Structure 1
Amino acid sequence: MITLQRRQLVGHDILLARHGNHISAMRVDRGAGRVVALLDDGSTDSAPNLIAPGLRTPDTLRSVLREDWKFLTGISACGVGLAGLMFGAVAALAGMSGNPALAQMLTAYSGN
C-alpha cells in the first residue's frame, strides 16, 4: 500500500536522544546524508539520516510522480481520446438524423 507522507529525518531523532535540550541549532547536510547539531557548549555532533542504506522509505507524492509519469500520461491520453470519441459519436448521430428535435436533444447540455 502506498502511503504518501513526508520522509522523516532519522538524524534528528538520534541527536535528540543523545543530547536532549543541549542542542542550540540543527541543519541537514544533504550531500553527506547527515544531520549536524550545534550544542550549547559550542561543539558539534552529527548523525546519519538513514538507518540502513537499502531501507525502503515511504513514498512521497513527488517520488510517485517521478517514477510513474509515463503511466499517468498514458491514462490521461486515453481519457482525452475516449472523450473525443464520445463527442464525435454524438456529433455524428446528430448529423445523421433528419429530425432537428433529435439533433437538439443530443447536443443540449443539461445544467441540472
Structure 2
Amino acid sequence: MLTLQRQRVGHDILLARHGNHISSMRLDRSNDRVVAVLNDGTTDSAPNLISPLLEMPENLRSVLRSDWRALVLGSAMMLAIGLLAAAVSIALTGNMSDEQLAQLSYSTSMY
C-alpha cells in the first residue's frame, strides 16, 4: 500500500547523486543529515537543510513588491493611450455628417 511520507532534502540529493545504486537510507538526526549505504558498501551523506542563501523562485507577491512602480507606470501609459484613442475617435465621428456616418456604418463589416 502506498503511503505519503515527508521526503527530506537529503533524500533528493542522494538520489540525484547515486540513483539505483542506493541500498538503504537513514536519517542522522543529531547531524541533520541523510546517510545512504550504496550497493558496494560505501556510504554517502547529504545535508537535510536548504541553504538560506539560495534564491527561491519568484511568486506573484515578490514580483509585485519589487516591480510595482514599473507596473503602475505601464498601466498608466496604456490607460492614457486608450483614453486618447477614444477621444480622437469621438472627435472624428462628431465632425462627420449624417451621410458620412451612414456610409461608414455600411462599409464597416460586422463579425
**TM-score using structure 1 length:** 0.47
Q: Which has the larger radius of gyration?
A: 2
Greater RCO between the two (CA within 8 Å, min separation 6)?
1
